[in-house]
Amino acid sequence: MSSNLTTYHFPTKIRFGAGARHELSDTLRALGIQRPLIVTDQDIAQLSWFTQIEESLLSFGAGTFSSVRGNPVVSQVSAGLAAYPAHDADGIVAVGGGAPMDVAKAIALMAHHPGHLFDYEDGASTRPIDRPIPPIIAIPTTAGTGSEVGRSAVISDDETHAKKIVFDPQLLPKVVLADPELLLGLPAKITAATGMDALTHLIEAFLAKGENPLCDGIALEGLYLVSQHLKDSVLFAQKLATGESVDPAAHLQARAGMLNASMMGAIAFQKGLGVTHSCAHALSTLCDTHHGLANGVMLPAAMRFNLDAAPEKFLRMARVVNPAANSGEALIDWIVALSQAIGMPASLQTLGVSNDRVDQLVDIAIADACHPFNPKPVTAADFHAIYQDALAA
Ligand SMILES: [Zn+2]
């Protein structure tokens, strides 16, 4: 393959809008799935709309696997994998945020492949992915990872917390039913943390090395949507939690904006991510920090590090969030102000991470696969400086 050619991939069919979830039965029929396994997490399994989805699939003989909780780990995949043949399933419906989505993809991969999940680790596989992977339908319930439009799953080792990626084009859901009504009950903290993950995807994708104007355009519009809708989404969630009334139409519009922004982030980052994600992955591995929270806390320090590598791109992003901006620094100021407004911890210290963890964090971050796409190279000393900056911010 010629190295001066670029690949653009936008293949997912997405049905977007309030009530999209009601098309699940028709979607299953269209894909020829007769006995789906629904994969979700413990909390979602308790919600009334989820029960309604289960009831709507009674004629399909569907089964539910709902033991996903916290960061996705191998033992959850194994448990789901046992449920798949037990239900004689022929497809998967993934309902949830990044964790159930990734567990669902890993179950799909392993449904017809032998051995251990990590035998198929992207870039370090010891076995080929050469058998069919059952079709996946994705119903996202958070606006953050955008895993519903991605071809990979990130699963951690139960003991070491080390994250491994499995990747295959067949892991891309065949259809996404993106229904912003399912986000209306998300608590403020999850809304904020997942929203910061989406924001980090959009910014890092735009800055990532390589030519991909389609992704760049998507990243900039996604950034605009975050600037319009993240703060409102969090404020609406806070109001609902304290019993205040909110305008349902405005709330739905904010959630829809973020649901689009989240998918746009994940589509855009086929270009690559960067140093923020490498820092965040290390925090999740070492301190079990929520992925979006880790990105949100690291983003300002990481962008202060990156600013001189791409001043023009920073200025373009700054003008998306503030048309009057006349320097790239305005983007970083905006990120800091947004973080504060939505209640993100101001520093690593606030998160409970202390200085004596930095050496270990740097060791993990430098081995991460994201920072090679950063607009400038990152050394161990650079990672040190970025973590120090984020500790005291
Ligand atoms: Zn992320």
Residues 95, 73: Cα–Cα separation, whole Å? 17
Q: Is pLDDT above 80 for 76?
A: yes
| pLDDT surpassing 70 at residue 79 | yes
Q: Does residue 229 register a pLDDT over 80?
A: yes
**Tally: H helices and E strands in the chain:** 14, 8
Torsion sign (Cα): 160, 162, 166, 172: positive
Across the beta sheet with 63-68, what order do the strands follow?
13-16, 175-178, 136-140, 91-96, 36-41, 63-68
| β-strands 163-167, 136-140 pairing | unpaired
- CA of 90 from ligand 1 middle (Å) equals 30
- d(CA 43, CA 108) in angstroms, rounded, equals 22
Give the pLDDT of residue 205. 98
- Ligand 1 centroid distance, CA of 192 (Å): 13
Whether residue 83 has pLDDT greater than 80: yes
Q: Report CA(56)–ligand 1 centroid distance (Å).
A: 32
* 11 pLDDT tier (thresholds 50, 70, 90): confident
Condensed to tens digits (0 to 9), the pLDDT of residues 152-199 reads: 999 999 998 888 899 999 999 999 999 999 999 999 999 999 999 999
Report CA(208)–ligand 1 centroid distance (Å). 14
Ligand 1 center to 297 CA (angstroms): 13
Q: How much distance in Å is there from the Cα of 145 to the middle of ligand 1?
A: 6
Average pLDDT estimate for 3-14: 81
pLDDT in tens, 92-137: 999 999 999 999 999 999 999 999 999 999 988 999 999 999 999 9
Residue 8 has pLDDT above 80, yes or no: no
265 Cα: distance to centroid of ligand 1 (angstroms): 9
Interval between CA 273 and ligand 1 midpoint (Å): 9
Identify the three-state secondary structure at position 111: coil
Q: What is the pLDDT of residue 4?
A: 76
Res 87: pLDDT? 93
What is the 142 CA–ligand 1 centroid distance (Å)?
A: 13
pLDDT tens per residue, range 288-342: 899 999 999 999 999 999 999 999 999 999 999 999 999 999 999 999 999 999 9
Cα 94 to Cα 71: distance, rounded to the nearest angstrom? 16
Q: Does the pLDDT of residue 1 top 70, yes or no?
A: no
Q: Which domains does the chain have, with CATH numbers?
A: 13-182 (3.40.50.1970), 186-392 (1.20.1090.10)
How far is the centre of ligand 1, averaged over its atoms, from the C-alpha of 244 (Å)? Answer: 32
* CA 296 to ligand 1 centroid distance, Å: 10
Q: How far is the CA of 150 from the centre of ligand 1 (A)?
A: 12
Rounded distance between C-alpha atoms, residue 259 and residue 165, angstroms:
24
pTM, two decimals, is 0.95
- In percent, the amount of the chain with pLDDT more than 90 equals 91
Ligand 1 centre to CA of 317 (Å) is 19
Ligand 1 center–CA 166 separation, angstroms? 15
